[in-house]
Amino acid sequence: VPEPHAAPQIAVVIPAGGGGTRLWPRSRQATPKQFLDVVSERTMLQETTDRVRSLVPPERLYVITNARHAGAVRGQLPAVPALNIVGEPEGRDSAPAIGLMAAILEKTLGPDAVMATLPADHVIPSDAHFRAILTASALVAADGYLVTLGIPPTGPDTGFGYIQSGETLRETTDAGVPVYAVQQFREKPQREVAEQYLKDGGYFWNAGMFIASVKTLRDLYKTHLPQMEAGFAQIVAAYGTDEFDAVMRGVFPTLEKVSVDYAIAEKADRVAVIPADIGWNDVGSWQRLAEVLATEGHETENTVIGHHVGVDTHGALIYSPKRLIATIGLDDIIVIDTPDAILICPKSRSEDVKKIVDELKARGRQELL
């Protein structure tokens, strides 16, 4: 990889379209987790923009979200221009959303801008290191690479896709980490396969964060998803006009529903992965959030947000900002209290929250979803 000429202009695109039932009862259809203050007093969306504030001015922050949440995004990010917040009339998976944003950025910032896609519902404690990696990634992206951030796995997790790294493209960067070519993207594996990945080494979790120049992305879409181009052109032509919402409603739902990983990243030739040891956590369950909130080395203590009295209670995650939760003789229990619903389950069962959500759907309890 040759050294680049100058620091490229970075724009951040934040996909914020998650449905968010995994942190039920806090997350609901109307307020998925990215719009909640589950980790700090800022919402996860706000934390995502806070994290890059020193690198990227609000004018170059873009959000694509479900149209019904666009108002919430504007409310949470008042410094971001309203035009930068794009509402999808319906979810069509990630490829149409990312491709459309690349097409819009081509119009607003030009093809040389580097677009960093950073999901709104992740936690990244090591934010200074993350920014250094982002800056280094932008330089690699400016050379025509689609750069993915690879999370060093902390266990054989079966809930994530994996990235297998190949040859070393650069021994080190300003962030102090190397750049590898991607040998292969791997789907969410079975347990034994994941264990083999960890044994073999050279595998990373795919956190869905990737960085590429607008030109690179546009070329990839024209090559691999050419059928979307006419739709993008119609929408971009209306961008900034009063017709935009109507055109989105007419055109966006006709775009192929497919993921950017499958349709673009896996098919690109020049794909790099940069190891990102940044404490990343997708907060994909209450158990995962408990990992974020627990004080390191004190995992058997109770994590309490709100009010709790415990007798023989250890390793609990308690969220109850209003009412007192009293527990006796319960280890590793999760209690989440909200105005209309309370979840109680052992940490080991927190993935099964979706079964509760399914049951509520089956019972037609729409007001609780």
| Contacting residues toward a second copy, per CB under 8 A | 25, 309, 311-312, 320, 322-330, 333, 335, 337, 339-346, 348-350, 352-353, 355-356, 359-360, 363, 365, 368
Nearer to a second copy, 292 or 342 (CB): 342
Minimum distance from residue 348 beta carbon to a second copy (Å): 7
* Closest CB 24 distance from a second copy, rounded Å: 8
Q: Which is nearer to a second copy, 33 or 215 (CB)?
A: 33
Q: Which is nearer to a second copy, 63 or 335 (CB)?
A: 335
Q: CA-CA distance, 310 to 16, in Å (whole number)? A: 37
For every residue of 241-308, DSSP letters joined together read STTHHHHHHHHGGGS----HHHHTGGG-SSEEEEE--S--B---SHHHHHHHHSPTT-TTSPEEEEEE
Do 150 and 274 contact (CB within 8 A), yes or no? yes
| E strand or H helix that includes residue 287 | helix 286-293
Residue 39: CB atoms within 10 A of its CB come to 18
Angle ∠(179,214,53) on CA atoms, nearest 5: 75
In angstroms, rounded to a whole number, what is the distance separating the alpha carbons of residues 268 and 206? 16
* The residue count for the chain: 369
Tokens of 248: 């989105």
Nearer to a second copy, 158 or 338 (CB): 338
Q: Per residue in 338-368, is it b (16+ CB within 10 Å) or e — as a string?
A: beebebebebeebeebeebbeebeeeeeeeb
Q: Which is nearer to a second copy, 30 or 324 (CB)?
A: 324
**Residue 326 DSSP class:** E
State the nearest-atom distance from the C-beta of 355 to a second copy, in Å. Answer: 5
- Using the minimum distance from each CB to a second copy, give the nearer residue, 72 or 335: 335
Q: Give the SS3 label for residue 112.
A: coil
72 φ, ψ to 5°? -65, -40
Tell the smallest beta-carbon distance from residue 39 to a second copy (Å).
Answer: 22
Q: How far is the CB of 302 from a second copy (least distance, A)?
A: 13
Beta carbon of residue 347, minimum distance to a second copy (angstroms, whole number): 10
**Shortest distance (Å) from residue 286 CB to a second copy:** 10
Q: Which is nearer to a second copy, 106 or 337 (CB)?
A: 337
